[in-house]
Amino acid sequence: MPKRDKAVSPQHPPTTEAPEPATAAPVPHKDATGSASLKDATGSASLKDATGSASLKDATGSASLKDAMATGGPSQRPSSGAASVAAEIVAGTAAQGLDHYVRGLYDAKESVWTQSARVVEEVVNQKPELAAPYIEKLCGLLLSDKARVAQCAAHALPVLAKVAPAKVAKHLKTLQGAFNQASDTGKDGLVRTFVALCLASVIYQKRLIDVFEQALREADAKTLPRWVELILPALKGEPYAQARAVAEQRMSAPELARPVAQRIADALGLKLRAVTR
């Protein structure tokens, strides 16, 4: 077969400059974050062309807390991000105020009420006065069938009873009536709330002694010593004597483990009898 001369493309006339190696791959351009831009990595495609129509936010999969709350999807923030959101609410720079997260406690989606509970708790930790307008709602949420929501209310109300006792006391009858129906977490929150009210003013002691006695009588062995340590120092006079009598009775019960009884005795300033063999 006759040897053919090498054809030269009319669009690319020969040049004396050395051509680039045919195998050289385009080098992606890196931005300030160290990641290659999609255009450089693909040669010519824009981000919109490469993804079809998605924005950078959609392409990376990140979502703001606001969007997660609005759609009911799981938040992209880690749980520790609740403190940052609360700080923004306290500073007045948050996209959504505290009311948004209180309403989220009633949401049907677990991801929403869980994140809302975290944020509400953090706001109470940082500036509890901001939660004072929601005391009535929090009183009702103590009986929520959502354990995380009830825990949020149980965390918030004792703190609010310290900073705004009169506002919490307006709902005292509701709180007293909730004790029998509350979960263990809710009951613990109620006891701490009632203790805070008694420390704020002696006028609440006689109104709450019945609940305190019931709490001490019904508490399990794990909870009893802590409640004795909380309740007794908050009482004076006759209410103190009544609560102390219940505590002493529980301490002397033979079924109570000795370490538990010893802790109660220490709280009461008593010497526990030696075990007779």
Distance CA 256, CA 156 (A): 32
Q: What is the pLDDT of residue 80?
A: 60
The answer to whether 186 touches 142, Cβ cutoff 8 Å, is yes
Q: What is the pLDDT of residue 68?
A: 37
Closest to 218 measured CA to CA, from 266, 179, 273, 265: 179
Residue 117 burial (CB < 10 Å; 0-12/13-18/19+)?
Answer: buried
Distance CA 137, CA 150 (A): 11
Per residue in 65-109, pLDDT tens?
A: 334 333 333 333 435 699 999 999 999 999 999 999 999 999 999
Per residue in 17-53, pLDDT tens?
A: 444 444 444 444 444 444 444 344 344 444 344 344 4
Q: What is the pLDDT of residue 273?
A: 79
Below-50 pLDDT ranges, the chain = 1-78, 277
Closest to 189 measured CA to CA, from 242, 233, 140: 140
Distance CA 176, CA 191 (A): 10
Q: What is the pLDDT of residue 272?
A: 85
Count of residues making up the chain? 277
Q: What is the pLDDT of residue 179?
A: 97
Closest to 212 measured CA to CA, from 181, 191, 182, 196: 191
Residue ranges of domains in the chain: 62-126, 128-200, 209-277
